[in-house]
Chain A
Amino acid sequence: MSAYLSISNVGMTFKGANGPFIALREIELEINSGEFVALIGHSGCGKSTLLNIVAGLTRATTGGVLLQGKEVSDPGPDRAVVFQNHSLLPWLTVYDNVKLAVDKVHSKTKNKAERDAWTRHNLALVGMDHALDKRPQEISGGMKQRVGIARALAMEPKVLLLDEPFGALDALTRATLQDTVMELHAKLNNTVIMITHDVDEAVLLSDRVVMMTNGPAATIGEVLNVNLARPRNRLALATDPEYTRCRQQILEFLYARHRAPAVHAA
């Protein structure tokens, strides 16, 4: 029995102006249904590239991705993506942004009234049902990400892909959104891959933390199992020994063994 999602021998070489650039090599990862996996690594190591390959937005030069035994060859709503800068369409309201996805993905399975209800339901899940008629530029960054998450969830994806969804948010907004994501994961039991730069976020949210080495030719350096019971509470965890151990191990990987490449002063 193979894994729900399997990434095997994925390598990515970009054809650049000054010769080929090897971004990723020999990525091997198996993810189970309902699992929450965090992807952490220094900036520029290739996290987004890997996520885009899983999404089907970028084609790997070697290897491939299997979802439920089927090869991923192009993007599709079964692998919904939440992008770092929310990517809501500014000319549509909050409701219409989600409705666009619902209408497209559920055109055959739901009738008009059901699609309307499903749109509202998903916006309510992320706590945005109070701003249905607002435009993206009228709501805060955290709210935009909530709408982005609602849009992705509304597609009922097999895998939810989050590319640093909270990277641009302040610490307090970030914390409330992390709680929302945890609640949603508990309720819906989605399979999630989430890119993050934040060690605490990785430990708090995920079942496994995948640590990537620095590029060029980055690959998976280490995979850490987070053995913390759910539901998790950020206050209680602060003093939990397992939490401290996980945190310590990631910090050691990132800052002792795989320091960010030194920036040479000009």
Chain B
Amino acid sequence: MAVKTDVLSKADMGGGESILAALAPRVIGGLKHAATRVLPPVMFLALLLTIWEIACSSPGATLPPPSTVLSDTWELIIDPFFDKGGLNKGMFWHLASSLQRVAIGFAIAAAVGIGLGVLIGQSTLAFRGLDPIFQVLRTVPPLAWLPLSLAAFRHADPSAIFVIAITAVWPIILNTAVGIRNIPQDYRNVSRVLRLNGFEFFFKVMLPATVPFMFTGLKIGIGLSWLAIVAAEMLIGGVGIGFFIWDAWNSSLISEIILALIYVGLVGFMLDRLIGFIGNRVGGYSSQ
């Protein structure tokens, strides 16, 4: 017995060593990865901040240097959740209401865009009739829709949501239609030989074949929505990151504007990544 335990414990020790030995290259690999991917942006960010700090530290500078921005907005940064009533709310609440408008507007755009995309992708008649109209309408700048939608809806919120939806809908329509037109004839032939009905064809062939294209459109769409909401909120007022920026400008709080811009950029980046992530999960195959 004693001998056996001895052998066992030796084996255990050996096992432990070999795990360490196996882990070492992976740890080193991870560090290498961090060094090559994380280090460069951090270095360039530091460089940019330094240049900014130096450029804006002179007495005649019109914009504050990063150090001043940080000290001016410290209260806002450490407490994003305060709510003192009215429009005097923390950054979180402004971003949340902007995101809520984007979510509703974008959901409408996605539903309408995919529907219309399927229509003009499948039907040559619909394509010929609608494509020229869409090509013209999609060049109208988002904010140009705002007065019209205010006139139609008479309330700030639905107008902003309409602007989001109309901005995001075009790339979703056009990319979905391209995806559908790109379904290989072979897949259609297979469906015909199998006698799939319209419903089965839609869910088993058309949708999976088009998902990568749809998500390209959705990704462009979410980016445009976020661009549009900030601009629209500047005009309509109320709680929202766009109005926060406008309000800060009117009170000459330049540091707050800069902080808001950083948040806008980060949130926009995260929205883009979120759609990309969902797209990879849903259409997680690489076409041949």
Residues of A with Cβ closer than 8 Å to B? 55-57, 74-77, 79-81, 83, 85, 87, 89-91, 100-101, 104-105, 135-137, 155
Contacts and interface: CB of A to CB of B under 8 A. Distances in A.
Interface residues of B, number: 20
B14 to A, nearest CB: 35
A76 B187 contact: no
Nearest to B208: A91
Contacts of A91: 208-209, 283, 285
Contacts of B286: 90, 137
A-side interface mostly: loop
Contact of A89 (B193, B200, B205): B205
B184 interface: yes
Nearest to B286: A137
A76 B285 contact: no
B285 A83 contact: no
B195 A77 contact: yes
B268 to A, nearest CB: 30
Contact of B193 (A81, A90, A136, A137): A81
Interface of B: 184, 186-187, 189-190, 192-196, 200, 204-205, 208-209, 283, 285-288
B189 A81 contact: yes
B186 A87 contact: yes
A155 B285 CA distance: 26
Given A57-B192, A77-B194, A137 B205 contact: no
B285 A135 contact: yes
Contacts of B288: 90, 136-137
Given A83-B186, A89-B205, A104-B200, A75 B193 contact: yes
A23 to B, nearest CB: 17
A76 B195 contact: yes
A179 to B, nearest CB: 26
Nearest to A136: B288
Which of B186, B190, B209, B287 gathers the greatest number of chain A CB atoms within 10 Å?
A: B190
Given A77-B195, A85-B186, 4 more contacts: A74-B192, A76-B193, A87-B189, A91-B209
Main secondary structure, interface of B, reads helix
A81 B194 CA distance: 10
Given A75-B189, A83-B186, A90 B195 contact: no
Contacts of B192: 56-57, 74-75
| CB-based closest 7 A-B pairs | A87-B186, A75-B192, A91-B208, A75-B193, A91-B285, A104-B194, A137-B288
A104 B195 contact: yes
Given A90-B288, A91-B285, A100 B204 contact: yes
A198 B266 CA distance: 61
Of residues B194, B196, B200, B285, which shows the largest number of chain A Cβ atoms within 10 Å of its Cβ?
B194
A104 B199 CA distance: 13
Contacts of B187: 87, 89
Contacts of B200: 104
A80 B209 CA distance: 22
A87 B187 CA distance: 6
Contacts of B204: 89, 100
A75 B185 CA distance: 14
Given A90-B288, A100-B204, A105-B194, A83 B189 contact: yes
A249 B241 CA distance: 81
A64 B1 CA distance: 86
Nearest to A101: B194
Contact of B285 (A56, A90, A104): A90
B208 A89 contact: yes
A76 B191 CA distance: 9
Nearest to B205: A89
Given A87-B184, A87-B187, A91-B208, A55 B285 contact: no
Most chain A CB neighbours (cut-off 10 Å) among B192, B196, B208, B287: B192
A79 B193 CA distance: 8
A39 B194 CA distance: 24
A80 B190 CA distance: 9
A48 B200 CA distance: 27
A61 to B, nearest CB: 19
A87 B195 contact: no
6 contacts: A75-B192, A87-B186, A89-B187, A89-B209, A91-B285, A137-B287
